Amino acid sequence: MSLEIDHVTKRFGTTTALDRLTFEVGRGEVFGFLGANGAGKTTTMRICLGIIRPDSGEIRWAGQAAAVLPRRTWGYLPEERGLYPRMGVLDQLVYFGSLYGEPPDRARREARAWLTRFRILDYADRRAEELSKGNQQKVQFIAAVLHEPEVLLMDEPFTGLDPVNLVLLRDAFTELRDRGRTLIFSTHQMEAAEALCESVAIVDLGRVVAGGRVRDLKRASGRRTLRVVLGGDPAPHWLESLPGVATVARDAIGADLDLLSTADPDAILAAILGHGSSVTRFDLAEPSLEALFIEHVGRAPDDEPAVSADLGTASVAAGGFA
């Protein structure tokens, strides 16, 4: 049982938003959909939900076309956050639950449980406009999961959350995964993806440029990072001249050395000691997700792409009254 994105193409006018996009997400996985703004993430999610029709290709869940599956299969946390400003928080959650077919009593019970868990039960009867942005975001997340969807699609779920709420949300992700739910989220916060995802797809201009299990991606890249913390000068100027070192990223405590695939860690350690420095930390690690992203896309996730492809709005499927 998996979600298959199968050669999906979507054009808006002359711009290609998705170009034969293909990847697969296993049931019960937490999947990171990584890309810069305009990569095609929102468009893909809207096609999953049946809001937009693809020009070609298909999205399937458990072998069935996504567009014919009942709405309650999906939970959706949009990037554009919004609630009914003057409606009470609990009323609002029961309303969205009802639209997904939840009986009001059950929706109310579930909503209260989630509000308690997110430490905002005191706001249950307040109007949404009286809540802080972070708390509104938590209410929106509850609205997306209240009906226990099989697949949860989230567009940039961590944006705007403080560290405490970030932990609350991550814990919720883990719990939902343990209950067998499939979670797919887009983000350009690589640390969050790194901490949560078993698999990722890195997309750029509507195409998957790298994808699969995070561990496999890192191994396949052949790149390694060496964390060194030295006594005395934490990041001396001669680090770049060490054998097999490609780039050096310095910080206040030490430096991260990006190694070439031919580099020999023993030779590097010997060279450092040869400079007369004492070594307090020497830690060989696989490359970060951010490094992988830069390697495949050619720029950091926060950088704007040359051409924006994620219009995602112009042509939309409609049910019609017929």
By the criterion CB under 8 A, which residues form the site for another protein?
46, 49-51, 65, 67-71, 74, 76, 78-87, 95-96, 98-100, 140, 143-144, 312-322
- How many residues in total does the chain contain? 322
Instruction: CB nearer to another protein: give 71 or 227.
Output: 71
- Minimum CB separation of residue 22 from another protein in Å reads 21
Q: Determine the Cα–Cα distance for residues 231 and 225; give it in Å rounded to an integer.
A: 20
C-alpha dihedral (277, 282, 285, 291), degrees to nearest 10: -30
**Three-state secondary-structure class, residue 56:** strand
- Minimum CB separation of residue 93 from another protein in Å reads 11
Instruction: CB nearer to another protein: give 114 or 293.
Output: 114
- Minimum CB separation of residue 3 from another protein in Å reads 16
- Minimum CB separation of residue 122 from another protein in Å reads 22
Q: Determine the Cα–Cα distance for residues 212 and 32; give it in Å rounded to an integer.
A: 10
**Three-state secondary-structure class, residue 128:** helix
Instruction: CB nearer to another protein: give 89 or 297.
Output: 89
Would you give the DSSP letter of residue 319?
A: -
Instruction: CB nearer to another protein: give 136 or 277.
Output: 136
- Minimum CB separation of residue 207 from another protein in Å reads 23
- Minimum CB separation of residue 47 from another protein in Å reads 12
Instruction: CB nearer to another protein: give 83 or 291.
Output: 83
Instruction: CB nearer to another protein: give 97 or 301.
Output: 97
| Burial class (CB within 10 angstroms; exposed 0-12, middle 13-18, buried 19+) of 50 | middle
Name residues whose C-beta falls within 8 Å of residue 152's C-beta, 6 or more positions apart in sequence.
74, 75, 76, 77, 144, 145, 176, 181, 182, 183, 184
> Measuring CA to CA, which residue among 105, 1, 115 is closest to residue 62?
1
> Which residue is listed with tokens 């959706």?
76
- Minimum CB separation of residue 88 from another protein in Å reads 11
Instruction: CB nearer to another protein: give 100 or 293.
Output: 100
What residue ranges in 214-300 does DSSP mark as E strands? 224-230, 245-250, 255-259, 279-285
Instruction: CB nearer to another protein: give 26 or 101.
Output: 101
- Minimum CB separation of residue 318 from another protein in Å reads 4
Q: Determine the Cα–Cα distance for residues 157 and 137; give it in Å rounded to an integer.
A: 8
Backbone phi and psi for residue 307, each to the nearest 5 degrees, phi listed first: -125, 130
Strands 199-204 and 30-34 turn out to be parallel
